[in-house]
Amino acid sequence: MKTPHNNQVFPRPLESAPNIKTQEPRVRARGQRQHRGVHLHSSITVMGSKEKPTCRIVLPGFPEPRMRSYLIAAGGDVAKARELYAWNAQMAGAALEQLAHLEVLLRNAVDLQLQEWIREREIGIPWFFMPPFIVAQSEAIETVRERLRQQNRETRDQIIAGLSFGFWTGWFGPKYEELWRQNLRLAFPNGTGQRKEIARLVEQIRKFRNRVAHHDSLLNVDIGFEMEAIFQLARIINVEAASWMKSVDRTRVVGAARPITPKDTVVVPSNDSSPLLEDLHAFVCQAGRYFRQVQYLAIYKDRQICMDVARIKLRRDNVSWNSSEARRLKDSEDRIERKLGKVMEAGLAQGLNHGVYQVFLLSQPGDPQHVQLSGPLTNDKAGRSSAFVRKQRYTSVHDLRHANSVWDLE
């Protein structure tokens, strides 16, 4: 007998659904370990302070461990911690909008492709009732069907809509390589055609989605990086849909309104006195030059901040810069010293004179810690007051992600 299609209601199977028992949480009446007379609260302390740590209540009724990261980020300022907590919820909401759009786009692309491959309309049986799908995901499919039966809403469309994001992302693992080659690759017409490309993107997005959906802190999450993965997957599926998603995205606006942003990036100009050895991913400047403690280095060149924001892998001051030192470092057993020796050799070949310098070794594109902006940030002002950076200035990866020009970093 053919299985109903589209919005027809599926007949209930003759066998009864399995009984699902709900287990009440156990409460230990005896033998339970207790801490008597001890308040299990963490504290915010200032390094070097001799004051006794105290508990801080950020929001009455909200657990202290949950609020701790916001209080730390706010430097102990309760009012600012509350602002950060509210901002976190706003950012989660904005990100969830795009995650929801992507989930609909992804499942529709896969669903349409599998319908055609199985010749679903001809045989009248939905693809998810056919091998290998029903074999691999029978429990997930039956769970959705049982819930819909209880609501008298068991239709094909409702089953598709009810399957979890994990169900859809689960088809891109190595064991489904043959399915990918035969059919699934056609659901992603604008990609490389490699299963691993989609597997990498959906896994990154799945982890981000879980973090957002579980109301975790996003303070240390590179939102721009995660959103770019969402838009990249959307573009691979449908360019027009991705363009629309980006046009209604609120994460940039919400991101720009973050109450407190740590300054984790130094912006330096690329000029003759501070050469950027781009081919070896290094920045060299005069010895003793002061820099705050930062994690990233961005380059200002040709009146714009370049797209690549590098993670600082090594910062070393007072480096003797000469041919013999370059040879010594290149022969070192230490990998970092060998890298430094290559940088020195290249710098000497490019005309960077013998002397003593400060050297930054930087990440390169493809490194998980390397940041690439969606585009360069330009300086569109003219006149005497238009210089954005002469020696160095500080900002954050977060602000760089959400700026439209260099002056948004003011």
Do 265 and 403 meet the contact criterion of CB atoms below 8 Å apart?
A: no
Describe the crossing of helices 239-247 and 78-118 by its angle, rounded to 10 degrees: 160
pLDDT one digit per residue (tens) for the chain, 410 residues: 444 445 444 433 333 333 333 333 344 443 443 433 333 333 333 333 333 334 467 888 888 888 998 998 888 899 999 999 999 999 999 999 999 999 999 999 999 888 888 887 888 888 788 777 766 677 778 888 888 888 888 788 888 888 888 888 888 989 889 989 999 999 999 988 999 899 989 998 999 999 999 999 999 888 887 898 899 999 999 999 999 999 999 999 999 899 988 889 999 988 755 666 777 899 998 888 888 878 999 999 888 999 999 999 988 887 889 999 899 999 988 888 899 999 999 889 988 889 888 899 999 999 999 999 999 999 988 765 567 888 898 999 999 999 999 988 87
DSSP result, 231-286: HHHHHHH-HHHHHHHHHT--HHHHHHT-S-----EEEEE-BTTB-EEGGGTEEEEE
Q: Residue 136: its pLDDT value, please?
A: 64
* Domains within the chain, CATH numbers bracketed: 78-257 (no CATH), 265-409 (2.30.130)
pTM above 0.85, yes or no: no
Q: Residue 273: its pLDDT value, please?
A: 54
C-alpha count within 13 angstroms, C-beta hemisphere, residue 45: 11
- The rounded distance, in Å, linking the Cα atoms of 311 and 297 is 6
- The rounded distance, in Å, linking the Cα atoms of 389 and 382 is 14
- The rounded distance, in Å, linking the Cα atoms of 330 and 150 is 71
Helix (H) or strand (E) holding 156: helix 156-162
Tokens 């190595």 — which residue? 174
CA distance to 10, 19, 22, 167, 184, per residue, from 150 (Å): 12, 13, 17, 21, 32
- The rounded distance, in Å, linking the Cα atoms of 321 and 355 is 5
- The rounded distance, in Å, linking the Cα atoms of 340 and 342 is 5
Describe the crossing of helices 323-330 and 335-349 by its angle, rounded to 10 degrees: 150
Do 400 and 409 meet the contact criterion of CB atoms below 8 Å apart?
A: yes
Ramachandran bin of 217, using left for φ above 0, alpha for ψ from -120 to 50, beta for the remaining angles:
beta
